[in-house]
């Protein structure tokens, strides 16, 4: 008799305008966490959140979403943390899953289809607090919490600390995502937004830059 049992899915790939293909492996704990978080309702909701607001009114192909942007940011974070972990496993590995998850979830607090533009329209006198909303969602949503509990129970708290740039953590953990120089968030949207708009601004050699990044003795990203 033939064995008709389905083989378990060991990795999932996404088509990408910059990398051609983005692949996350379930054999790597940090990437498995990313894949499980992608399947949650709050992350899937970002398929309907515009990455560049109303830019498509001028650049008609700028129709991409926060979903694709965030998957790309997580991919960059996973690549960078994997490299940094090879160099400094004792400093990096304990934060690896949390950094990758924080990169993926950094934008789930966007509340409107138009992202920043919509928020400024609805709340013209209020500061943009999508990072704070991201943290509140991570802390309060039962589905997100169950994913963290099943994969890395301590990571949810670390993710929230990374997103608020907590002084309790080594600076490099949040500088990867929101540091003042290059970071994986800016590193993705600079090139993806320019590709989707059909302009040349913002394009650069991602692999070369990632290979040049190190953690200094003081715990800074450089």
Structure tokens at 161: 């600390």
Q: How far from each other are the two terminal CA atoms of the chain, in whole angstroms?
A: 58
Tell the residue number behind the tokens 């990374």, with chain if given: 162
Residues, the chain, total? 222
What counts of helices (H) and strands (E) characterise the chain? 12, 2
- Determine the longest span between alpha carbons in the chain, in angstroms: 69
Pairing relationship of beta strands 20-25 and 11-16 according to DSSP bridges: antiparallel
H/E element, 11: strand 11-16
Active-site residues, by number, are 130
């Amino acid at each position: 008799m033939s064995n008709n049992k389905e083989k378990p899915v060991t990795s999932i790939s996404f088509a990408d305008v910059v990398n051609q293909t983005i692949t996350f492996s379930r054999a790597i704990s940090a990437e498995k966490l990313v894949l499980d978080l992608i399947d949650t309702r709050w992350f899937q909701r970002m398929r309907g959140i515009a990455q560049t607001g109303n830019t498509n009114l001028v650049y008609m192909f700028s129709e991409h979403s926060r979903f694709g942007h965030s998957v790309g940011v997580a991919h960059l974070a996973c690549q960078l943390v994997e490299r940094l972990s090879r160099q400094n496993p004792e400093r990096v590995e304990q934060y690896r899953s949390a950094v990758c998850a924080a990169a993926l979830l950094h934008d789930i607090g966007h509340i409107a289809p138009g992202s920043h533009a919509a928020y400024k329209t609805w709340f013209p006198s209020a500061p943009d607090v999508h990072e704070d909303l991201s943290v509140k969602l991570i802390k309060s949503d039962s589905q997100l919490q169950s994913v963290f509990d099943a994969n890395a129970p301590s990571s949810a708290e670390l993710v929230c600390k990374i997103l608020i740039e907590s002084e309790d953590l080594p600076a490099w953990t949040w500088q990867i995502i929101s540091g003042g120089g290059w970071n994986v968030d800016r590193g993705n949207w600079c090139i993806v937004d320019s590709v989707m708009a059909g302009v040349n601004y913002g394009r650069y050699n991602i692999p070369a830059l990632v290979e040049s990044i190190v953690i200094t003795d003081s715990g800074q990203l450089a």
